[in-house]
Chain A
Amino acid sequence: MSYVFIVGAKSDIAKEVARVYAKNGYNLYLSARDTSELEELATDIQVRSGVEVKLVELDVTKYKTHEKIYEDLEEKPLGVIYVAGFMADQDEAQEDWSKSLNTINVNYTGAVSFLNIVANDFEKQRRGFIVGVSSVAGDRGRKTNYIYGSAKAAFSTYLSGMRNRLHEAGVSVLTVKPGFVATKMTEGLDLPEKLTAQPQEVADDIFSAQQSGHNTLYTKWMWRYIMLIIKHIPEFIFKKMSI
């Protein structure tokens, strides 16, 4: 059975995404900066689903290593899912350039570097799928979160362009825009229960949207309409708002 490559497999969303694909019979490449942290997940998935799981050391911000890492894969994946993400606190990122830079690099530059290689290969093979986990934060810049949001906006635009380019080659590209998700990243925040998805819910949504060839997925679904409204608030009002 084909392999799916998960970039940034340590997060709560990635863990559930990995489980869903394994449950449906896909073998997995799980990647992270430090793969020792993925061993428990790899065992979990093997015992659960009996698929092959291989660990790949990958730092998304070490661009020069990407080509070789991809070339070295014994079997090229059928799909790549980019889940790696980093959310610095807005106030800290404003003060500390390194935090801003890391936000941009993990959420955007690293993704471009790695997915360019993937896209070229998939285009040549005329098959495959790419899933990028972006964010509703990229739909409009807000004062509380715009450094992270702008990196996600760039990522969403990149995915949209790639979808346009690869369509002809039969390669599908899915942009995922989760709203609030109950994860390590959001633990302790007071999130509205009805708008907050569980990682497993997000993973199930991603799997079914990818399998049916959708372009953009808002999860939970009501975020599509919330963001539609937020995007259409005129700037002269929006700039005075605090949302």
Chain B
Amino acid sequence: MSLNSWGMYPQIDNKKITLKTPKQIKAFIDANKEIIPYGNGRSYGDSALNTNIIYTKPYNSFLSFDDKKGILHIQTGVLLSEIIESYLPRGWFLKVTPGTKLITIGGAIASDIHGKNHHVEGCFSECVEEFKLQLPSGEIKSCKKGDELFLATCGGMGLTGVILDAKISLKKVSSQFINQTTIKTKNLQETFEAFEEYKELPYSVAWIDCLASGENIGKCLLMVGDFCDDGKLKYKEKNRLNIPFNFPSFALNNLSVRAFNWLYYNKAPNGVSKQKVGIDSFFYPLDSIKNWNRIYGKNGFTQYQFILPKEKSYDGLKEILQTISGSGKGSFLAVLKLYGKANKNYLSFPKEGYSLALDFKIEDGVFELLDALDKIVLKYEGRIYLTKDVRVSKDTFETGYEDIEIFRNLRKKYKMDEKFNSVQSKRLGL
């Protein structure tokens, strides 16, 4: 039996147990080392991989909903898509959602995910009221905001134990549509100005053509928006397209990416334009294609996501984009985002500044390029997102996360390091 992560790289054989009751999980913890919880397998790299996996997705009951406060109590395996399906028609939506709704609540907490509204709402942990965590000893602890176990588990990549269930607060919305404004820019300077100009709007994200060079470096389509107010809540997801097999590895090359980028960029009107779009196309454009990871071929791919402090972002991004453009290795998806302030969680990724996420097919020369990008990220005092990572070095990682020792000490204190590990945590000495 083998479960992969979304990047399909690396492939690790594993034994899995399905989470049914905490009691049965305790027996599994007692009998094994090298355990990591695994949700829906949507993190890109090796953070949810190990020789033993606690499969949490079937542990997915809804437990209660307080419709005055908007607090939903659910088990860890519930997908964000299930919450949207159930509650959007009733006028509630997630306060924070990433670019896919096909992740579990446990995964959202463990990655402390963020969305297009980070500069306004912060990370997912902001809307987590409390959760239950099963420790390596088998004991179940209730963790509330501010507790050390809360600070360690939100963003803790499943390395603190098994999150069993959580209470999360939803927000009121009155439509399933978004009023979107698209701003087309010609270079990085214009892109940054546009982000600043529209930062009052709750949602923003920019798609960058990372193969553009010279004067055009950093040209983008910036999409900003907020929920409409038309009372149209009748939400039903459309059928998804499926990619039934891995594309041959030559399908995605410099030329096809260039062609895609040209089409995408030129399809949008020049300057500023307005559209009304559904939540699926605004928040989750890639979810409409099942198994889109297969377009990268059977060798898989990785996503490289880093963040730079705001005052260093412009120079840093310019240098990074120049390096990528010069290498000729680029991705369809290069997403640039403005972030608000960092939270207090020990390993949460966001901090005030700009982050760029890029996909790279696993092929010769890619890891060398990413090592070169790491150096630039460190030079500008940035850091790397664990949820996307599959190859960063221990030194590079540590330099970016100042609370790493607090996290390590807490792991020792609760003997988490003796039981809960992933391929990633061992690589990075977490």
- Residues of A that sit less than 8 Å from B by CB: 12, 23, 40-41, 43-45, 47-50, 187
Task: List chain B residues, Cβ under 8 A from A49.
Answer: 86
Task: List chain B residues, Cβ under 8 A from A44.
Answer: 61-63
Chain B, range 45-71, C-beta contacts under 8 Å to A: 58, 61-65
Task: List chain A residues, Cβ under 8 A from B65.
Answer: 47
Q: Is the CB of B85 within 8 A of A23?
A: yes
Q: How far is the CA of A212 from the CA of B208 in the complex (A)?
A: 45
Considering the complex, give the chain A residue whose CB is closest to the CB of B74: A47
Q: Mark B80-104, 1 if CB is under 8 A from A, else 0.
A: 0010011000100000000000000
Q: Is the CB of B86 within 8 A of A43?
A: no
25 CB-based A-B contacts, threshold 8 Å: A12-B58, A23-B85, A23-B86, A40-B61, A41-B61, A43-B61, A43-B62, A43-B63, A43-B64, A44-B61, A44-B62, A44-B63, A45-B62, A47-B62, A47-B63, A47-B64, A47-B65, A47-B72, A47-B86, A48-B62, A48-B82, A48-B86, A49-B86, A50-B90, A187-B18
Considering the complex, give the chain A residue whose CB is closest to the CB of B82: A48
Minimal beta-carbon separation of A12 from chain B (angstroms): 8
Task: List chain B residues, Cβ under 8 A from A50.
Answer: 90
Considering the complex, give the chain A residue whose CB is closest to the CB of B89: A50
5 additional A-B residue pairs with CB within 8 Å, beyond A23-B85, A44-B62:
A45-B62, A47-B72, A48-B82, A48-B86, A49-B86
Q: How many residues of chain B get a CB closer than 8 Å to chain A's CBs? A: 12
Task: List chain B residues, Cβ under 8 A from A41.
Answer: 61
Q: How far is the CA of A49 from the CA of B83 in the complex (A)?
A: 10
Name which of B18, B58, B82, B85 has the most chain A CB atoms within 10 A of its CB: B58
Q: How far is the CA of A12 from the CA of B60 in the complex (A)?
A: 12
Q: How far is the CA of A40 from the CA of B20 in the complex (A)?
A: 13
Task: List chain B residues, Cβ under 8 A from A48.
Answer: 62, 82, 86
Closest 10 pairs between A and B when the two form their complex, measured CB to CB = A47-B62, A44-B61, A48-B62, A48-B86, A44-B62, A47-B65, A40-B61, A47-B64, A49-B86, A43-B63
Q: How far is the CA of A50 from the CA of B67 in the complex (A)?
A: 12
Task: List chain A residues, Cβ under 8 A from B86.
Answer: 23, 47-49
Task: List chain B residues, Cβ under 8 A from A40.
Answer: 61
Task: List chain A residues, Cβ under 8 A from B64.
Answer: 43, 47
Minimal beta-carbon separation of A133 from chain B (angstroms): 19
Task: List chain A residues, Cβ under 8 A from B72.
Answer: 47
Q: How far is the CA of A48 from the CA of B90 in the complex (A)?
A: 11
Q: How far is the CA of A41 from the CA of B62 in the complex (A)?
A: 9
Q: How far is the CA of A49 from the CA of B90 in the complex (A)?
A: 10
Minimal beta-carbon separation of B13 from chain A (angstroms): 14
Task: List chain B residues, Cβ under 8 A from A12.
Answer: 58
Task: List chain B residues, Cβ under 8 A from A43.
Answer: 61-64
Q: How far is the CA of A45 from the CA of B65 in the complex (A)?
A: 12
Considering the complex, give the chain B residue whose CB is closest to the CB of A193: B1
Q: How far is the CA of A49 from the CA of B88 in the complex (A)?
A: 11
Task: List chain B residues, Cβ under 8 A from A187.
Answer: 18
Task: List chain A residues, Cβ under 8 A from B18.
Answer: 187
Task: List chain A residues, Cβ under 8 A from B62.
Answer: 43-45, 47-48
Q: How far is the CA of A44 from the CA of B86 in the complex (A)?
A: 11
Minimal beta-carbon separation of A117 from chain B (angstroms): 32
Minimal beta-carbon separation of A212 from chain B (angstroms): 15
Considering the complex, give the chain B residue whose CB is closest to the CB of A199: B58
Q: How far is the CA of A131 from the CA of B297 in the complex (A)?
A: 41
Q: How far is the CA of A107 from the CA of B121 in the complex (A)?
A: 53
Minimal beta-carbon separation of B62 from chain A (angstroms): 4
Name which of B62, B65, B72, B85 has the most chain A CB atoms within 10 A of its CB: B62
Minimal beta-carbon separation of B168 from chain A (angstroms): 13
Task: List chain A residues, Cβ under 8 A from B61.
Answer: 40-41, 43-44
Minimal beta-carbon separation of A214 from chain B (angstroms): 18
Q: How far is the CA of A41 from the CA of B75 in the complex (A)?
A: 12
Chain B, range 351-391, C-beta contacts under 8 Å to A: none
Considering the complex, give the chain A residue whose CB is closest to the CB of B75: A44
Q: How far is the CA of A11 from the CA of B86 in the complex (A)?
A: 23
Task: List chain A residues, Cβ under 8 A from B85.
Answer: 23
Q: How far is the CA of A50 from the CA of B85 in the complex (A)?
A: 12
Considering the complex, give the chain B residue whose CB is closest to the CB of A41: B61
Q: How far is the CA of A12 from the CA of B62 in the complex (A)?
A: 16
Task: List chain B residues, Cβ under 8 A from A47.
Answer: 62-65, 72, 86
Q: How far is the CA of A40 from the CA of B64 in the complex (A)?
A: 11
Considering the complex, give the chain A residue whose CB is closest to the CB of B83: A48
Considering the complex, give the chain B residue whose CB is closest to the CB of A43: B63
Minimal beta-carbon separation of B1 from chain A (angstroms): 9
Chain B, range 334-360, C-beta contacts under 8 Å to A: none
Task: List chain A residues, Cβ under 8 A from B63.
Answer: 43-44, 47
Considering the complex, give the chain B residue whose CB is closest to the CB of A190: B1
Considering the complex, give the chain B residue whose CB is closest to the CB of A19: B82
Q: How far is the CA of A44 from the CA of B82 in the complex (A)?
A: 12
